[in-house]
């Protein structure tokens, strides 16, 4: 009797606990399967993103100068969270990274007016960008620096911006790499060379006209990097990016996305930030502030017929700066004419009065030449305030694809 009760009890407990055990095993199996599935999906996604990114970076860029310049990554590209690139490869170049970022810039006629207006930086974002650039500008190296740790102090920017470091030498402030095909804010980027590595700590570069001026962003990136200059600012939109006719409220004869003639785009704020950081750095170290800011442009073959290269200080040809053979603008002209030989010659507004591309309305040029930030749209620089610290270079096709000759010319004009 007791034995059969025991058997029933055993059977009962087997049914009860057997089912429970099956349920537990089933649940655990299902859980393990789900976990495995999630990890497998994430792993595949990461591999795909990495492969896509590598392909994008390594593909020959589709720009006008591409046959002359090819770069490739020979080593591993490392990724951190969100698949953002952190480049530790010695063969990585700023030019190559510029080429990659250009994939996400706003092309000709691609943005609605509403999208453009919504993408403009707020005053808080501008303020934080200035503080961020000022902070990074003061660092001796970018070794041991983490993007997230820094951006935690910049809550408005953190949502949109990432810092990519190349070998502790360069820091590139750019929008977070999007999953879609375009950066949402069209802000462009700033690249800084750390103090320890900058061979020309007082030389700065910018390119305001992505795509519409030819391959000038890649050119400026190459010259910045190969000459050991201190900074590079590149605009994130074609000057005709906004569809339709949209005169800028800053300077109505230019379009709204023209970053040389409008102080709304982040390009202007980034340039002002670099300028002010450089000025502050000089003042802190009791040094004279005589930095040079070169803005690189491409012009049509039909413009300025006697000038394959036209170099201006942002003022007409009668200005005294063109009579000073040691002025920055003349040093660059002489260096170009020596290095380019017969392939391209350079003129200034003094030697070619027929060329009107003197950049006197350039908003950042005016700021460099002491016009207050809030007045750059409407007020020209005073003659006495122009000392060739701002240099505006226009180039035709052959010149803007001669990156090596430009590197040589800039090295000659700004000896270490
Ligand atoms: Zn231009």
Distance from the alpha carbon of residue 255 to the mean position of ligand 1, in angstroms = 12
Ligand 1 centroid–CA 146 distance in Å is 35
Q: Separation of 395 CA from ligand 1 center, angstroms?
A: 9
Distance CA 145, CA 392 (A): 34
C-alpha 174 to ligand 1 mean position (Å): 22
Give pLDDT, residue 120: 98
pLDDT digit string (tens) for 187-237? 999 999 999 999 999 999 999 999 999 999 999 999 999 999 999 999 999
Q: Ligand 1: distance of its center to the CA of 209 in Å?
A: 5
Please report which confidence band the pLDDT of residue 4 belongs to, taking 50, 70 and 90 as the band edges.
very low
CA of 213 to the centre of ligand 1 (A): 5
Ligand 1 centroid–CA 120 distance in Å is: 21
CA Rg, the chain, in Å?
A: 28
292, containing H or E segment: strand 292-298
Among 384, 386, 400, residue whose Cα is nearest residue 358: 386
The yes-or-no verdict on residue 8 having pLDDT over 50 is no
DSSP-assigned letter for residue 36: H
| pLDDT at residue number 247 | 98
* Segment holding 198, helix H or strand E: none
Residue 242, beta-bridge partner list: 111
How many CB atoms lie under 10 A from the CB of residue 387?
17
pLDDT digits 0-9 by tens, 19-42: 777 777 777 777 777 777 666 665
- Domain ranges within the chain, ordered by starting residue: 1-58, 78-413
Integer Cα distance of 294 and 332 in angstroms = 10
Exposure string of 309-319, with b = 16+ CB inside 10 Å and e = fewer, is: bbbbbbbebeb
Least confident among 82-91, 126-135, 221-230, 354-363 = 82-91
**Span from the CA of 413 to the centroid of ligand 1 (angstroms):** 22
Specify the 3-state DSSP secondary structure of 165: strand
Asked if the model's pLDDT at residue 89 lies above 80, the reply is no
Burial class (CB in 10 A: 0-12, 13-18, 19+), 325: exposed
How confident is the model at residue 43, as a pLDDT? 60
> Mean pLDDT lowest for which of 58-72, 126-140, 342-356, 367-381?
58-72
Residue 302 Cα to ligand 1 midpoint, Å, equals: 14
- Give the pLDDT band (50/70/90) at residue 5: very low
Pairing of strands 292-298, 200-207: parallel
> Which residue did the predictor score with more confidence, 83 or 218?
218
- Tell me what the pLDDT averaged over the chain comes to: 87
Instruction: Please give the distance, rounded to the nearest whole angstrom, from the Cα atom of residue 292 to the centre of ligand 1.
Output: 19
| Helices (H) then strands (E): counts for the chain | 12, 11
Q: What is the mean pLDDT of residues 386-404?
A: 96
pLDDT tens-digit profile of 311-357?
999 999 999 999 999 999 999 999 999 999 988 999 999 999 999 99
Place of tokens 């570069």: 205
Q: Is 156 exposed, middle or buried (0-12, 13-18, 19+ CB in 10 A)?
A: middle
Whether pLDDT at 143 is above 80: yes
Report the separation in Å between the CA atom of 309 and the middle of ligand 1, taken as the mean of its atom positions: 13
């Amino acid at each position: 009797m007791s034995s059969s009760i025991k058997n029933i009890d055993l059977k009962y407990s087997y049914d009860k606990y057997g089912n429970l055990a099956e349920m537990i095993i089933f649940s655990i199996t299902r859980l393990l399967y789900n976990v495995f599935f999630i990890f497998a999906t994430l792993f595949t996604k990461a591999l795909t993103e990495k492969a896509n990114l590598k392909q994008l970076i390594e593909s020959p860029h589709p720009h006008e100068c591409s046959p002359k310049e090819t770069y490739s990554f020979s080593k591993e590209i490392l990724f951190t969270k969100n698949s953002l690139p952190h480049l530790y490869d010695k063969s990585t170049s700023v030019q190559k990274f510029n080429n990659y970022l250009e994939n996400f810039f706003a092309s000709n006629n691609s943005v609605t007016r509403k999208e453009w207006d919504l993408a403009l930086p707020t005053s808080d974002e501008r303020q934080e960008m200035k503080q961020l650039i000022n902070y990074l500008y003061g660092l001796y190296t970018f070794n041991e620096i983490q993007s997230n740790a820094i951006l935690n102090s910049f809550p408005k920017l953190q949502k949109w911006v990432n810092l990519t470091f190349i070998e502790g030498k360069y820091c590139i402030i750019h929008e977070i790499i999007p999953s879609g095909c375009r950066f949402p804010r069209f802000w462009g980027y700033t690249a800084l060379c750390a103090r320890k590595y900058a061979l020309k700590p007082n030389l700065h570069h910018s390119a305001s006209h992505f795509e519409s001026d030819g391959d000038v962003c890649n050119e400026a990136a190459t010259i910045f990097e190969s000459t050991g200059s201190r900074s590079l600012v590149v605009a994130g939109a074609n000057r005709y990016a906004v569809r339709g006719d949209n005169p800028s409220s800053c300077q109505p004869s230019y379009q709204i996305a023209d970053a040389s003639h409008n102080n709304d785009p982040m390009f202007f704020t980034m340039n002002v930030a670099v300028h002010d950081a450089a000025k502050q750095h000089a003042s802190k170290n009791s040094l004279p502030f005589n930095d040079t800011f070169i803005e690189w442009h491409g012009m049509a073959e039909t413009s300025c017929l006697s000038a394959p290269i036209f170099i201006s200080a942002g003022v007409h040809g009668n200005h005294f700066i063109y009579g000073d053979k040691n002025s920055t603008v003349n040093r660059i002209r002489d260096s170009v004419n020596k290095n380019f030989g017969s392939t391209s010659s350079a003129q200034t507004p003094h030697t070619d009065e027929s060329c009107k591309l003197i950049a006197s309305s350039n908003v950042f040029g005016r700021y460099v030449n002491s016009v207050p930030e809030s007045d750059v749209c409407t007020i020209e620089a005073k003659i006495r305030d122009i000392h060739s610290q701002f240099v505006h270079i226009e180039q035709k096709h052959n010149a803007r694809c001669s990156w090596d000759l430009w590197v040589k010319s800039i090295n000659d004009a700004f000896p270490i």
